Amino acid sequence: MHLIAARFCQRFLYPHLFAWIFFCMFPSLLPAQDREVMSINSGWQFVKGGSELPAPSAAWQPVSLPHSWNTADVMDDEPGYYRGVGWYRRLLPAEATIPGRQLYLRLEGANQLCSVYVNGQLAATHTGGYTAFQAYLSPYLLTDTSRRWNELLIRVDNSHNLQVPPLTADFTFFGGLYRDAWLISLPDVHFNMAPTGNDAVYVYTPQVNTQQAQVQVKGQVINKENTAQRFELRAVVADSAGRIIVQSSKKITVKAGQLLDFSQDLPAVKQPVLWNPDRPYLYSITTQLTDITTGRLIDQVVNPLGFRWYRFDADSGFYLNGKPLKLIGASRHQDRPGVGNAVSNAQAWQDIEWLKNTGANFLRVAHYPQDPAILEACDRLGILTSVEIPVVNEITESDSFYNNCLSMQREMIHQNFNHPSVIMWCYMNEILLRPHFNGDKERQQEYFKNIARLAGRLDSLTRAEDKERYTFMACHGAFDRYNQAGLTRIPMVLGWNLYSGWYGGVLADFPSFLEKHHKELPQTPLVVSEYGADADPRIRSIEPVRFDKSVEYATRFHQYYWAEMKKRPWVAAAMVWNLADFNSETREETMPHINNKGLLTWHRKPKDTYYLYQAAWRKDPVLKITSSAWQNRAAYADSGNVNVTTQLLQAATNADSAELIVNGRSLGWHKPVEYIAGWNVPFVQGSNVVEVRAQQNGQWYRDACVINYEILSTGPGFVLPSSGINVLLGANRYFIDEESQLTWVPGRPYVQGGWGAIGGTAFKMAGSSRQSYGNDKAISGTDKDPVYQTQLVDIQGYRLDVPAGGYELTLHFAELQGAAAAPLAYNLSSGNTSGEKVQRVFNVTVNGQPLLQQFDIAAEYGVAAAASVSTIVYVKEGQGITVQFTPVKGTPVLNALQLRKKN
């Protein structure tokens, strides 16, 4: 009975219901008039796999758009994720075929090859996963009214394809119909639906100043009727309140079947309100076709209009509306947890609000064109932008690859042409990062020449398509390589992605690089198109060092970089990498599959670096305790005072000075250094009420939080906390378990009467100059990778002088030898060494009782896999707990230890 009902619904009810909804959404189709646009994000079915048209029996699953099929497999322990074919199916009513109307499908994003079938016939194909495209449906729609519906099938393929960029990149190539889908119904005569995926109406502002602004509209009108038609072409500029400011009209004749190019100049707008980040004033410009005889509106397109002028200067930076303006902001990747790149328009808009709230004025839309909502938000919120195509790391030397790059660049420009926020078009990112033919220098030089030829073609195309905006290329920090390849002489603006003091080198290399560019390329404007350091929000350090992934090191990194750029006016832009953490499936490190360089977490929670930039960039008062989200802490007691732990507390502020008050006691007024003020605070056991305050322009500003401390003593007479102890071996950082809110502390050597390790040295990757301790390999079987990524090697024992009672002891192990991480995109130093496998077999006893015999971590669990062993220990008075490690082959290791008191 259920099957009969289901078939009845599918054959009779659903098509009629959809037809009713269709005409509710398109009420003006009878009689026909101007364009109608309808979202068709709902009502889809999806099946994964299969290169041919799916059989009727395929296991279709209901989905809504935006949709990606890579929301889960990009986060599991198994390397790789599905890159292949997925099919989408939807029904359109037979009544969609309306005389005098033309029906189009617009897909804003399908990664990365897409084919559209209507009633089994191929209607359109598209190459490239990050620009929109349009399919003309009308020729394939049913005219037989006895059939109730049209079938729309869409094939999407995100397989690796040597002819389609990006080939490789430090982000995930999510597959799916991951942006909005629209049906567009048009009269037979309309503004052309351009093959570049946009409405063929382009707005120009050839001259703008404080006195007046010139406006010009160019575009195309197409006539799909069999007779010539006469129309009035009208362009209207209105202010933000909708009041008409200027307008212009003229009569045009469009022949049967003709695609007519038009150009229309409007009267100058007097005393225009200029668009700028502080006041992003938007006019609108409406372009209309009306019937000369009846005055009926035939078609219209509305675009935003912002009046601004700008220029780059190699000696003094960037100017907007005649005034110097350092471009400050970040880049953005489009993915979020649970949805991949299939984010909503509201989520996209929210990201721009996060950026704006730092005080930023710029977004590098990288490394690909993004959802239309992004530039709409930038227009309205006052964020200048660059947009780029995903030609990243490397190329394929083929005409097919070159033509796909050119097509993507052309589509990107045409689709985003009318956004006043856009000032630069970018066409390559770090294209020499993965040079081919390293063993054949002559062949490599030819490869470099082909890259330069492609860059030249993309640059020329861009200048021809848009004579106002600047061309832009982003390069990694190999200055001589790009210079010798001739790439530094091609774009109008040159960007450098710089990570000195992170992937390699020291912080001081950064200003040296800036000076080198300014000296050797004095005529080329410079922007720092990327800079940043990973900040795993779960990792904290009292003594931060490069590549420890601590929030503290990242904060120091950003303080230094911003200070160096701020003092050089000819550094036109500072673009933080990245606004938010993002998915990169091949990454390992402390948070596998995530690039942690964001100012926000993947879940959009601010890090300390976000507050730093608020203090540095905002014009209004800023005062924020940077680590206030870390509410539950554990730390070692001060020497000589088991009730106090002294640790640094910082606040981000743009005030001249700030006062810290802890538990009602003032710790004094401190001046910030590069927007960060710090105090050494004697925290006590339990709750600590913390308040920071500052005065600006006669007004007081405050921020407060409560920090709970578990103070750990390692000396004689120590008391085991009720929550126990959680210790990282071979580490100099803290790890916060967000699920349990436990803090893991770095281990210490044993002191009589206390607890700690006996013997052993901190594990360090052989030959690594990047990482001072531990391994950056992802650990399988856990989401607490930092617990297992450090260890003491050749440990002899672990002693805990606890009083009599019952205890639960847990030892954590992982074999780190032979566990080399996949090479990072920025392999600029000698990190990621091979880490040859070693023979390691040892015994473990607890108070003389065997716990592990002939223990071979790699044999039992695998390399870089989490292993935990727990035991209950009953301790007599004065006995304590002694864990002894005895080597059989190689050296014993211990990664972490936990101890809890049993009730």
* 32: pLDDT strictly greater than 60: no
Share above pLDDT 70 across residues of the chain, in percent, rounded to a whole number: 94
Q: What is the 3-state secondary structure (H, E, C) of 689-715?
A: EEEEEEEECCEEEEEEEEEEEEEECCC
How many beta carbons lie within 10 A of that of residue 587, not counting itself? 23
**What does the pLDDT look like over 712-740, one tens digit per residue?**
988 887 889 988 999 999 999 999 999 99
> Radius of gyration over alpha carbons of the chain, in Å?
31
What pLDDT is attached to residue 19?
A: 42
What pLDDT is attached to residue 14?
A: 39
3-state secondary structure of 8: helix
What pLDDT is attached to residue 826?
A: 56
Q: Distance between terminal CA atoms of the chain?
A: 59
Helices (H) and strands (E) in the chain, counts: 12, 54
What pLDDT is attached to residue 144?
A: 72
3-state secondary structure of 20: helix
**What does the pLDDT look like over 528-565, one tens digit per residue?**
999 999 999 999 999 999 999 999 999 999 999 999 99
**What does the pLDDT look like over 247-269, one tens digit per residue?**
999 999 999 999 999 999 999 99
Determine the average pLDDT of the residues in 809-837. 68
**What does the pLDDT look like over 333-385, one tens digit per residue?**
999 999 999 999 999 999 999 999 999 999 999 999 999 999 999 999 999 99
Query: Is residue 867 within 8 Å of residue 858, measured between CB atoms?
Result: no
Maximal CA-CA distance, the chain:
105
What pLDDT is attached to residue 145?
A: 63
3-state secondary structure of 635: strand
Question: In the 8-state DSSP scheme, what is residue 498?
Answer: -
Strand ranges inside 626-764, DSSP E: 632-636, 644-653, 658-662, 665-670, 676-684, 686-696, 699-712, 725-728, 734-737, 742-746, 755-762
What pLDDT is attached to residue 108?
A: 98
**What does the pLDDT look like over 181-237, one tens digit per residue?**
999 999 999 999 999 999 999 999 999 999 999 999 999 999 999 999 999 999 999
Share above pLDDT 90 across residues of the chain, in percent, rounded to a whole number: 88
Determine the average pLDDT of the residues in 91-108. 87
Question: In the 8-state DSSP scheme, what is residue 595?
Answer: E
pLDDT band at 490 (very low <50, low <70, confident <90, very high): very high
Distance CA 285, CA 199 (A): 14
Mean pLDDT of the chain: 93
**Domains delineated in the chain:** 38-176 (2.60.120.260), 201-305 (2.60.40.10), 326-619 (3.20.20.80), 621-712 (2.60.40.10), 720-903 (2.60.120)
**What does the pLDDT look like over 618-657, one tens digit per residue?**
999 999 999 999 999 999 999 888 899 999 999 999 999 9
